[in-house]
Chain A
Amino acid sequence: MPPESEICGCNGVCKGTILAAIAGGATDLGTVRARTKASTSCGSCTGLVEQLLAHSLGDAFRKPASRPVCGCTELAHEDVRRLIRARGLKSMPAVMQELGWKTSCGCATCRPALNFYLLAEWPETYRDDPQSRFVNERNHANIQKDGTYSVVPRMWGGMTTPQELRAIADAAEKYQVPAVKVTGGQRIDLLGVRKEDLPRIWADLNAAGLVSGHAYGKALRTVKTCVGSDFCRFGTQDSTGLGIRLERRLWGAWTPHKVKLAVSGCPRNCAEATCKDVGIVCVESGYEIGVGGAAGMDVKATERLAKVATEDEAVEIVVAFVQLYRESANYLDRPYKWLAKVGLDWVRAQVVEDRDSRAALVARFDRAQAIFQKDPWAERTAPEARAAFTPLAHLAAEAAE
C-alpha cells in the first residue's frame, strides 16, 4: 500500500501520516488516535491502524487482549458488567469508586456505557442519567450537522394511515421543516427542526396518536415488513401483523446498540429480513427466525436461530433474544458482533432450547418494559419540561431591561 492511500475514510488520514506518527513515538492505538484522528469516528479502520502499529513496531507492539472501556479504567466492558452484577453496584458513583475509576466523573465514552449497564441491570431502582447520554438520546431527536434535529414518528410495522400522514404534513408545514425524507426503515423523517420547536412538534404529533420512533436511540428502531398475506398473492403469513405485534412489544427498550427488525411474508423476502439484527421470513409451515444480520459498515446475512410453527412462539423467542442481548452484550456492539463473541449455540441454548430460560428472559424483559415503555415525547411536552429545550436567556433583552 503506498503512503498516500487512505486508511481512515471518516477523517481522511492516509497511511503515511499514521506511519509518521508511529515513528514519532505513538506506540499504541490511543496515541495514534490522539495525534492523527485516525480510527476516532466510526472505528472500522481500527484493525488497519493496529496492523500498521504491529508492522512498524514488531514485537514492541502488543495488541491488548481485551481493550479497556476508555482511558478512565483498565477494565474491559465484560469486567465492568460482571462486577456491577457481582458486587451489586447500583449507581455511577458507586461503580467509579468501587472499580477505581481514574477520573472524577468519567468521560464521554464510559458514562453512556455505564448508564446503560446500570439501567439494564437494575431497571426498578436505577435513575437514568440524561447527562450521561449522547445528545440524541438526551433530546429524543437526531442532531444534524447544523445543530437542528430530525423527528421520526413511530409507524408500527411500517404501516400508516391517511390521518397520520395528514398530521405529519401539517406539522412539517407549521414548523417549516426544510426536508421530509422516507427512511430505510419505512418511516418518515422530518429534518431540520429547531431544538426549541421539538416539544411543540411532538405535542402536535402526539395529538394525532403518533409517538417517538426512537430513531435516535440505542434502542428498538424499526420493524420493517412487507404486505404479507393480507394483500400479496405470494404471502404465506400475516407479516405486517407480526411486525406490528413485535414492535408493540419491543418499543421503548434500551439496548446496547440500535436494533432493527424485519418480517417478510415469504422467501422472496421483500422486507430484506436477512440483513437485520433479527429477521423473520414466513413460510407455509411457520416462521424462520434469523439473527445477527448487518447492512452497514459490515454486510452480513442472518444465521438461523430457530424455525417455529406459531406466531406466539416466534414472538417469545425474539423477545428472549433481545433480552439476552441486553443482558450480555458490550455497549455499542450490534447483535452480530456480540454473537461472534458468545456464539450462536450459546444463545440458542438459552433462547430456544431451554424453555425455562426463555420464559425467565421474557419475564425480565417485561419487567423492564413496565418501566421503560413510555413515550419520551409525551413526557416532554408539558410547559415545565419544555424549558430545558429553550435558551437560558437572551442577553440583548436582559441588558435592555
Chain B
Amino acid sequence: MTWIDIGALEDIPRRGARVLRTAQGCVAVFRTADDRVFALDDRCPHRGGPLSEGIVHGDAVTCPLHGLVIGLADGRARDAEGGKVETYPARIEGGRILIDAARLLPEGRAA
C-alpha cells in the first residue's frame, strides 16, 4: 500500500466531498456525518455524473445527474442493474486524510 496525505479532514464538509485529481482521473473523497472517509472514482456508472457533487446520506451518495444511489464503502449502485465504481482505501490519522494511492499514481511513480 502507498498511503499519501491528501489534506485535512476539515477541508471536506460533513456529508460532503472534494475531488482528488490523479493521473488516472478524478477521485471523489467523501466525509460522512460521523466522520468516516471514503474514496471512489468520481464517475457514476450510469452516465458518468460527478458523484462528488451528490447529496451524501448515511454511507451512500445520490448522483446529481439522474439520482442513482451508490454505496460509499463498496462503490455499488443500489438498483437492479447494480453498476459499480472503483473504490480506494482511505483513513484518517491525526486529522489528516490518507489514501492508498497504489493504483492512482502515474506509471513508475509508485513507491
Contacts and interface: CB of A to CB of B under 8 A. Distances in A.
A398 B53 contact: no
Nearest to B34: A104
A152 interface: no
A105 interface: yes
A82 B56 CA distance: 26
Nearest to A36: B80
Given A41-B66, A130-B13, A135-B64, A34 B79 contact: yes
B76 to A, nearest CB: 14
Given A106-B57, A111-B55, A147-B49, A395 B105 contact: yes
A107 interface: yes
A145 B64 contact: no
B73 interface: no
B55 A395 contact: no
Given A108-B62, A395-B20, A396-B109, A34 B80 contact: yes
Given A106-B57, A111-B55, A134-B55, A145 B21 contact: no
Contacts of B106: 396, 399
A133 B55 CA distance: 7
B92 interface: no
Contact of B15 (A131, A387, A392): A131
B79 A108 contact: no
A135 B79 contact: no
B109 A399 contact: yes
Contacts of A393: 6-7, 20-21
A143 B64 contact: yes
A139 to B, nearest CB: 7
Contacts of A391: 18-21, 26
Contacts of B105: 395-396, 399
A87 interface: no
B104 to A, nearest CB: 6
B67 interface: yes
Nearest to B80: A35
Contacts, number: 106
Contacts of B13: 130-131
A395 B19 CA distance: 10
B57 A396 contact: no
Contacts of A174: none
A398 B101 CA distance: 11
Contacts of A139: 53
A103 B6 contact: no
A135 B54 contact: yes
Contacts of A130: 13, 16
B47 to A, nearest CB: 7
A131 B65 contact: no
Given A106-B57, A134-B55, A395 B6 contact: yes
B85 interface: no
Interface in A383-401: 387, 391-396, 398-400
Contact of A392 (B19, B66, B109): B19
A22 B47 CA distance: 27
A241 B51 CA distance: 43
B29 interface: yes
A131 B56 CA distance: 8
Given A107-B55, A399-B101, 17 more contacts: A36-B80, A105-B33, A108-B54, A108-B67, A108-B69, A111-B57, A131-B14, A138-B53, A139-B53, A143-B64, A145-B47, A146-B48, A147-B48, A147-B49, A391-B19, A392-B18, A399-B105
